[in-house]
Amino acid sequence: MKQNNKPYHVDQEAKQRDLSTNKSDSTNKFLTTNQGVRINDDNNSLKAGDRGPSLLEDFILREKITHFDHERIPERIVHARGSGAHGYFEVTNPIPQFTRAGFLQEAGQRTPVFARFSTVAGFRGSTDLARDVRGFSVKFYTQEGIYDLVGNNIPVFFIQDATKFPDLVHAVKPEPHNEIPQAASAHDTFWDFISLMPESAHMIMWLMSDRAIPRSYRMMEGFGVHTFRLVNAQNESFFVKFHWKPKLGTHAVVWDEAQKISGKDPDFHRRDLWEAIEMGNFPEWELGMQIVDEADEQKYEFDLLDPTKIIPEELVPVTIVGKMVLNRNPDNFFAETEQVAFHPGHVVPGIDFTNDPLLQGRLFSYTDTQLLRLGGPNFHEIPINRSIAPVHNNQRDGFMRQEINIGRVSYSPNSLGGDCPVQARIDQGGFVSYNERIDAHKVRQRSESFSDHFGQARLFFNSQTEVEKDHIVRAFRFELGKVETTAIRVRMIGIVAQIDAGLAEKVAAGLRLTVPAKPEQPMNYGVSPERRGLEQEPKLVPSSVEASQALSMINNPTVKPTIASRKVAIVCADGVDENAVLAMKSALIRESAKGCVIAPYLGHVQTNQGGAIPVDFSFLTSSSVLFDAVYIPGGMDLNELSQNPDAMDFISDAYRHCKVIGVHGNSIELLSGAAFASKLTNEDEGIIMDEDMENDITANFISAMAGHRVWAREAQL
Ligand code: HDD
């Protein structure tokens, strides 16, 4: 057999990703059964007489109903609710010195990807705006096989060992007796578990922050969470943490807004991703890596194998390696987004695992879950999961096998088939696990280096702005306020007190509780009887970094002001200043943003020039929580707005959620009738007003909007 000695990533045999052979388009086609028989009547079942019973022989009816009865597959046990898109990954800064992964070798190299974003706790039909972690999974169709980076929008996790994952998920999912609440962590079983698991302290701080209520999937960071390994051609290994940095910056909504969006448009994130791609505003992230020499494994005050820890960017900066652009919506949600099967164990040569005990458990779980969810071992043959690198092995048969393997040989070694398929040497792209030396006793124990639970939780809190800290206080009050068992609230405040005493005081004050003088030390819950009392007490190892800008969304140095792809509500009624509406719409388009006309009715509004402007939504079918800013042009019959409670709520909510509000001409009067009128100050940089309708306020409006929200206003609320 002729051996190909070229590095595998330049092997011409590896095709470009092409799913077109699996696509089906019914345009101008006959309706058929699944066996290809043309159907003459799809509206009536076969009956004995037009009023008689249906006949068993009606194979067309039976086939249709049978298929329908089997349309659903089990939803994902976690991350059931999600949305995906196709795109590509392009290398900007190749890193052959760190990895031999073929897709990271040359600048300009492109690899097709499919990304799926998700919430964790809710069922498949739940709201996008739950307070929750967001999944951030990317499947790279590399020429050396599939590589999946299955991460979250939060860089740490709740637990340190995979064996606690089923407990965590049981605790956060709706409670088993009444299946309440849906897609929410604000209930007793979740906080009972968390308050007994101090290792979750760092994660809980992120979950109570606005990171858990993103403005958009396109405005979230992504993280691989665990420390992985890179391995280069010389077989040298480096530790690595993966980061996705969004081009549009990292932004969130506020909690009141999140709850209202959940009612007004539970598909808010799904719609946002879909519409951005349809409009050509392709979501984009940079892929960054924090790379640590193997020799530095023990250098830090935290353990690199502990998934409840970050590496502060002040200690190891993030090197940008490439960018991901999502530029195509799926053709079919079920075929692609629902059937896509990610797995942290899908790696290519040059990327490897560490002994992080959470990662190790994940390496078992993902294939196992697909066997149930996708119905058997051949899920890799589903088009969205197929490798573009050729697949040849001696695995055979199983439910729904698509491939027709030719020949009589399905074993190795064999002489009948020339011993094919042959194993690849390392220089032929063969995957060789990193030969880490392990010399240890078998134990069920946690390393002592995993026992700091509070140091980085405090680092996170110290890195937030005052506004962000305040949001964390309110989130704790909300979540614990929904907990019915007082003992759980108190125990949780005891945990918070070990992170930050001031934070605990504020949370406790909102719940009319006092911070316990001596917090319960629940570490020994769940510990084996022999080890009870021996297990390390949770402790606080102060971080060597006092505050890290990258942990704050508001202070994050990488956030570049832009309004690209944002949506502005242009509030209109009859008589509206036509020039002002058109000027705002064009100014927004120039910034790749969009203005939508909202009025008391659908159809058109009459303008001051006798023209008509089409209305996109009425106040009944829309809400300001679905927009990033509000503009109210002048010239209108204000009664149409001031007498309409939905219109006034629209403006009041925009104010409450710290959005920029532009007001022109006589419309300024509307503000004095709004619920917030008494709180308005001249210092509010987010109220852009001009009494003179001739003046153009678009530039000021856009520049204020680029700051995302006017957080200073919160002091007035
Ligand atoms: Fe997981 C899905 C991310 C820990 C077991 N997980 C899933 C998805 C994401 C993550 C993004 C959705 C993939 C998709 O879009 O289809 N999971 C994480 C992260 C973790 C983590 C970042 C910690 C760092 N997961 C984790 C553990 C286990 C699992 C410890 C089990 C021991 N996760 C699963 C799963 C899921 C899953 C049950 C459900 C659906 C699926 O895999 O395909 O196997």
Enumerate the CATH 1.20.1370.20 domain ranges in the chain, comma separated.
Answer: 457-526+537-551
Mean pLDDT of 202-230: 98
- Residue 7 pLDDT: 46
Mean pLDDT of 263-273: 98
What token pair was written down for 467? 């506004």
User: What are 585-644's pLDDT values in tens digits?
Assistant: 999 999 999 999 999 999 999 999 999 999 999 999 999 999 999 999 999 989 999 999
Catalytic residue among 79, 86, 202, 664: 79
The amino acid at residue 350 is G
> Which residue, by CA, sits nearest to atom 26 of ligand 1?
362
- Residue 527 pLDDT: 73
242 assigned to a ligand binding site: no
- Residue 539 pLDDT: 79
Mutate to test the pocket of ligand 1, among 78, 136, 221, 244 (most ligand atoms within 8 A of CB): 78
The residues, any chain, with a CB within 8 Å of residue 302's CB and separated by 6 or more, are 309, 311, 449, 452, 455, 456, 541
Tell me the CA–centroid distance for residue 152 and ligand 1, in Å.
9
Nearest ligand 1 atom to the CA of 82 is: 15
> Which residue, by CA, sits nearest to atom 1 of ligand 1?
362
User: Coil, strand or helix: which one is 497?
Assistant: helix
Given a cut of 70, whether residue 244 has pLDDT beyond it is: yes
User: What are 280-291's pLDDT values in tens digits?
Assistant: 999 999 999 999
Residue 460's nearest CA partner among 642, 272, 205 is 205
Residue 568's nearest CA partner among 546, 549, 591, 550 is 591
Residue 351 Cβ < 6 Å to ligand 1: no
**How would you class 361 by CB atoms within 10 Å of its CB: exposed for 0-12, middle for 13-18, buried for 19 or more?**
middle
Nearest ligand 1 atom to the CA of 358 is: 30
Residue 483 Cβ < 6 Å to ligand 1: no
- Residue 17 pLDDT: 64
Helix (H) or strand (E) holding 63: helix 59-69
Which residue's structure tokens are 């003046």? 695
Tell me the CA–centroid distance for residue 95 and ligand 1, in Å.
28
Residue 164 Cβ < 6 Å to ligand 1: no
Given a cut of 60, whether residue 4 has pLDDT beyond it is: no
CB 598 within 8 A of CB 617: yes
How many residues in total does the chain contain? 717
Tell me the CA–centroid distance for residue 535 and ligand 1, in Å.
28
> Which residue, by CA, sits nearest to atom 30 of ligand 1?
162
**How would you class 558 by CB atoms within 10 Å of its CB: exposed for 0-12, middle for 13-18, buried for 19 or more?**
middle
Q: How far apart are CA 614 and CA 601, in angstroms?
A: 10
- Residue 8 pLDDT: 45
Residue 573's nearest CA partner among 546, 597, 609 is 597
Given a cut of 60, whether residue 10 has pLDDT beyond it is: no
Q: Are strands 319-328 and 284-293 parallel, antiparallel or unpaired?
A: antiparallel
Instruction: Please tell me the class of the 50-385 domain.
Output: mainly beta
DSSP-derived letter for residue 473 is H
Helix (H) or strand (E) holding 188: helix 188-195
Mean pLDDT of 677-695: 91
- Residue 588 pLDDT: 97
Residue 522's nearest CA partner among 488, 476, 474, 556 is 488
Q: How far apart are CA 131 and CA 478, in angstroms?
A: 11
Classify domain 567-716 at the CATH superfamily level: Class I glutamine amidotransferase (GATase) domain (3.40.50.880)
Mean pLDDT of 207-233: 98
Q: At how many degrees (to 10) do helices 255-264 and 466-481 cross? A: 60
DSSP-derived letter for residue 18 is -
Percent of the chain predicted with pLDDT > 70: 96
373 assigned to a ligand binding site: yes
Given a cut of 90, whether residue 5 has pLDDT beyond it is: no
Q: What fold is seen in the domain 457-526+537-551?
A: Hemocyanin, N-terminal domain (1.20.1370)
Enumerate the CATH 3.40.50.880 domain ranges in the chain, comma separated.
Answer: 567-716
> Which residue, by CA, sits nearest to atom 37 of ligand 1?
78
- Residue 13 pLDDT: 47
Mean pLDDT of 375-400: 97
- Residue 2 pLDDT: 42
Split at pLDDT 50, 70, 90, the class of 525 is: low
131 assigned to a ligand binding site: no
Rounded to the nearest integer, the mean pLDDT of the chain is 94
- Residue 1 pLDDT: 39
Enumerate the CATH 2.40.180.10 domain ranges in the chain, comma separated.
Answer: 50-385
Mean pLDDT of 304-322: 98
> Which residue, by CA, sits nearest to atom 19 of ligand 1?
151
Q: What is the pTM of this model?
A: 0.96
Mean pLDDT of 439-456: 94
User: Coil, strand or helix: which one is 468?
Assistant: helix
> Which residue, by CA, sits nearest to atom 9 of ligand 1?
135
Residue 190 Cβ < 6 Å to ligand 1: no
Q: How far apart are CA 579 and CA 585, in angstroms?
A: 10
- Residue 526 pLDDT: 67
The amino acid at residue 190 is F
- Residue 522 pLDDT: 61
Percent of the chain predicted with pLDDT > 90: 89
Least confident of 137-151, 218-232, 404-418, 510-524: 510-524
Residue 241 Cβ < 6 Å to ligand 1: no
Nearest ligand 1 atom to the CA of 117 is: 15
Cα distances from 539 to residues 57, 523, 536, in angstroms, run 72, 11, 8
362 assigned to a ligand binding site: yes
Catalytic residue among 40, 70, 86, 152: 152
Residue 72's nearest CA partner among 337, 374, 369 is 374
Tell me the CA–centroid distance for residue 406 and ligand 1, in Å.
36
User: What are 129-170's pLDDT values in tens digits?
Assistant: 999 999 999 999 999 999 999 999 999 999 999 999 999 999
Which residue's structure tokens are 């300009």? 108
- Residue 73 pLDDT: 97
Tell me the CA–centroid distance for residue 324 and ligand 1, in Å.
21
Mutate to test the pocket of ligand 1, among 76, 81, 139, 273 (most ligand atoms within 8 A of CB): 76
User: What are 649-681's pLDDT values in tens digits?
Assistant: 999 999 999 999 999 999 999 998 888 888 888
Q: Would you call 152 a catalytic residue per the annotation?
A: yes
Mean pLDDT of 7-16: 48
Helix (H) or strand (E) holding 255: helix 255-264
- Residue 557 pLDDT: 73
Tell me the CA–centroid distance for residue 83 and ligand 1, in Å.
15
Given a cut of 70, whether residue 645 has pLDDT beyond it is: yes
Residue 223 Cβ < 6 Å to ligand 1: no
366 assigned to a ligand binding site: yes
CA 53, 56, 61, 64 dihedral sign is: positive
116 assigned to a ligand binding site: yes
DSSP-derived letter for residue 693 is T
Given a cut of 80, whether residue 9 has pLDDT beyond it is: no
- Residue 6 pLDDT: 47
User: What are 182-204's pLDDT values in tens digits?
Assistant: 999 999 999 999 999 999 999 99
- Residue 458 pLDDT: 97
- Residue 540 pLDDT: 85
Q: Would you call 178 a catalytic residue per the annotation?
A: no
